[in-house]
Amino acid sequence: MYRLVAFKAVDDLNRCEKFIEGHRQVLESIGVKKVTSAKNDWVNNPDVIVVIVENEEDGLVYGGARIHKANSQFPLPMVEAIEDLDSSIKDVISKDLDSGTGEICGLWNSRVVTGLGIGAIFMSKACLALTPKLGLTSLYALFAPTTVKLGLEMGYEILTEVGNNGTFYYPKLDLIATAMKLHDAVNLPLTSEEHRNSIFQIRDNKRLLIEENYRGRNVKLEYTSYIE
């Protein structure tokens, strides 16, 4: 069985290191040696929550994502990633600071779990389940072309006021990233009913056995949150 675990980055350096190594390998497999938003100083940021997928038996990490709550000391990864391409991103995000905003980033998964929906779908749900506890009313994210559709299903909208109608050549010139925003990360009015129901179920439980059918395959996940 696979286990989804949510924890504060500063509380578990060992799992953070596994996350970093797995993310590095995935980036290098698509020809990206280093990206700005993949800097590893987030391990010292008390406002970073990490969600990982690990094997229950051997503790190997097969995927992960991070939630960064915006604070004055650490700029959101999206700002660091694209402010040289469009400096207005900083002003756009700053308008949401007082109400509580953040970013989901660094989402990756190993080929071991490709096709199970664990990498993008289940981790996205787990991240959105945590937003009320983190005091986040909105969320930002950069999506690859293959995940924009999922972003829309999760309730995000394309941030057309930045870049080229929300798109950027990032992290390199032959790759495109789309900036998106989830305007109501608490009530999720634009999230598909199927995803919203799962998210609210996870929100109500710090420990939960999740069983879902993804593309005809039954997937069992044990969800554990260490977030108070």
Domain limits at 54?
Answer: 2-225
Question: What pLDDT shows up at residue 117?
Answer: 57
Domain count, the chain: 1
Residue 186: CATH number of its domain? 3.40.630.30
What is the separation, in whole angstroms, between the first and last Cα of the chain? 25
Per-residue pLDDT, averaged over 24-45, amounts to 76
Contacts of 203 (CB under 8 A, 6+ apart): 129, 130, 132
pLDDT at 185: 97
Angle between helices 193-203 and 123-130 (to 10 degrees): 60
Q: What is the pLDDT of residues 74-133, one digit of tens each?
A: 889 999 989 999 999 999 999 999 999 999 999 988 876 666 656 688 889 999 999 999
**Is there a contact between 81 and 142 (Cβ–Cβ < 8 Å)?**
yes
User: Position of tokens 């787990």?
Assistant: 126
Q: How far apart are CA 197 and CA 219, in angstroms?
A: 17
Residue 160 burial by Cβ neighbours in a 10 Å radius (0-12, 13-18, 19+)? middle
